[in-house]
Chain A
Amino acid sequence: MDYYVSVATFAALNVILALGLNLISGFCGQVSLGHAAFYGLGAYAAALCSVAGVPFAFSLLAGIAVAGLAGIVVGFAALRVREDFLAIVTMGVGFLFLGAVRKQPWLGAEMGIAKIPSPLDKWGYAALAIGAAVVLVVLSLHVRRSWMGRAFGAVAQDEDAARTIGIDVPGYKIAAFFLGTAAAGLAGGIYAHMTQLIVPDAFNFIQSITVLAMVVIGGIGSTLGVVVGAVLLTLMPELFRFINDYKLLVYGALLLLVMRFSPDGLAGLARRTLGVRLA
């Protein structure tokens, strides 16, 4: 039973990560290949706080704040570059984070941070992660319907045209980065306390690409599609043990298939074959 609970928790964390990235890339059209860095920032910030004796809830908030503020900084940096260049910049942010963490003794360097206090049991983390994922689903659906979501759409489709009708393009990009990275920070905080041990490698480039694969396979821009993508890609290596060794190969193949046959992901596939519109 414990095993299923922890799989469910990881699925929920991945939903949070993927929905965060979907806010940035799906809604606002800003490519990011460094999402794991914000997951890591949240994890490290929350872990350090807890180790220093800060209550759990405040540690989580610290993780959210640190990741969100870093997101704003990256958002500012991202204002000057677009598309493929933005992809390179965000990828660089990911490597910068890893490179920095690995060399810092106060962050445990390669050994990471161990013995993080854990105030909840397995069920508690599952409830927390699933609850947070549900909040993020609701938030995503709300953003999409709000004028913020419409403005994100305008920025994503043609940012120059958006400027000429008075839309504050930089402001919206930074808002998207903030929301998306703050969500990653929350996932990081929960993860750190649940596992009680974090190492830099948990937040590497492969993790960023895995989250991106969840978004793309689920259907970029579609909240429910992305939820399905995140859950599916979490379960797959668990259901088929033999996949685990070839996880990246399978993700890569899936990405290729999606790009070739259904560029709008599973959400697009559902719309075309079943006539179901996923929000």
Chain B
Amino acid sequence: MTQLEGRKLSIAFGGVHAVEDVSLAIARGELVGLIGPNGAGKTTLLRLLTGILAPDAGEVRFEGRDVTRMPIHRRAQLGLALTHQIVRPFRDMTLAENVMMAAAGEVTRRPWTALAALDTRRSRERAMALLERLGIADAADKPARNAPLGYLKRMQVARALALGPRLLMLDEPLAGLNYAEAGRFADLIVELNAGALTIVLVEHNLGEVTRIARRLVVLHNGALLAEGAPREVMARADVRDAYLGAEAHA
């Protein structure tokens, strides 16, 4: 069953068609890798799906609802969570407080009810359980500003999971991690997906993404080039050409 759908999405920046007429459907429980060479429009497409950008044309549907013009925070409340390519922690908070902020979504939904709410115990428990699950509970009370990148990447996922999402979009979750860290992180993504969470990731690390994704979507020059099982997609001549560019024709 289709959970997230982009229909004929297009957006241009100053005359450059970053994404043009792209349609894709993500089924519930899938683990989809969105790949393509630099500048293919992957991050832009992800931003269109999450609402950071509004498309010039086309629509986005999440669980049957048209969410094209819905603000990001409302989509997040509906269960569509994302992590940023460049980590964006709340730097003056500890890692635990960062996750608590998302875990307290019910409380902070309306400013005036938030004013009356002081209790942090429940969100703290939730945050600690998630930090534990992501293996960074040891640094829970360390300030985010001093935390190493690997910790912040995991914290971002914990923070997104604290929203209780049904679909998680990860923008280059493995970027900046070393070989071993990337492998462990990829395993974690598989584990989360096995728990019935739909995951869409944009990733440059082709080795890991072909290992873990069950379906790949390839973008090239803002358009959909190919989609299908990782092995088949990576074996296609046009996909290889897109990645290797001019060298392949030399």
Residues 139-167 of chain B, each 1 if its beta carbon lies under 8 Å from chain A, else 0: 00000000000000000000110110000
* 164-193 of chain B: CB within 8 A of chain A: none
Q: A148-B115, A151-B101, A153-B90 are in contact. Are A164 and B110 (CB under 8 A)?
A: no
Q: A147-B117, A154-B101, A158-B90 are in contact. Are A168 and B82 (CB under 8 A)?
A: no
Asked if B29 is an interface residue, CB under 8 A from chain A, the answer is: no
Asked if B217 is an interface residue, CB under 8 A from chain A, the answer is: no
Q: Are B115 and A160 in touch, CB under 8 angstroms?
A: no
Q: Choose among B102, B111, B162 the residue that contacts A172 (Cβ–Cβ < 8 A).
A: B111
A143 CB → nearest B CB, Å: 7
Q: A150-B108, A151-B108, A153-B90 are in contact. Are A165 and B159 (CB under 8 A)?
A: yes
| Docked CA distance A150–B77 (Å) | 18
Contacts of A166 in B (CB 8 A): 73, 76-77, 102, 105, 108-109, 163
* 90-104 of chain B: CB within 8 A of chain A: 90-93, 97, 100-102, 104
Q: Are A171 and B110 in touch, CB under 8 angstroms?
A: yes
B120 CB → nearest A CB, Å: 8
Asked if A161 is an interface residue, CB under 8 A from chain B, the answer is: yes
Q: Are A160 and B101 in touch, CB under 8 angstroms?
A: no
Q: Are A145 and B76 in touch, CB under 8 angstroms?
A: no
| Docked CA distance A199–B76 (Å) | 49
Interface majority SS (helix, strand, loop, mixed), chain A: helix
Asked if A62 is an interface residue, CB under 8 A from chain B, the answer is: no
Asked if B71 is an interface residue, CB under 8 A from chain A, the answer is: yes
Q: Are B77 and A148 in touch, CB under 8 angstroms?
A: no
Asked if B89 is an interface residue, CB under 8 A from chain A, the answer is: yes
**Interface footprint category on A:** 20 to 34
Asked if B28 is an interface residue, CB under 8 A from chain A, the answer is: no
Asked if B112 is an interface residue, CB under 8 A from chain A, the answer is: yes
| Docked CA distance A153–B91 (Å) | 10
Asked if B1 is an interface residue, CB under 8 A from chain A, the answer is: no
Q: Choose among A147, A160, A165 the residue that contacts B114 (Cβ–Cβ < 8 A).
A: A147
| Docked CA distance A162–B92 (Å) | 13
Contacts of A150 in B (CB 8 A): 97, 100-101, 104, 108, 114
Asked if A169 is an interface residue, CB under 8 A from chain B, the answer is: yes
A27 CB → nearest B CB, Å: 12
Give the B-binding residues of A (Cβ under 8 A).
142-143, 145-148, 150-151, 153-154, 157-158, 160-169, 171-172, 175
Give the A-binding residues of B (Cβ under 8 A).
50, 52, 71-73, 76-77, 81-82, 84, 88-93, 97, 100-102, 104-105, 107-112, 114-118, 159-160, 162-163
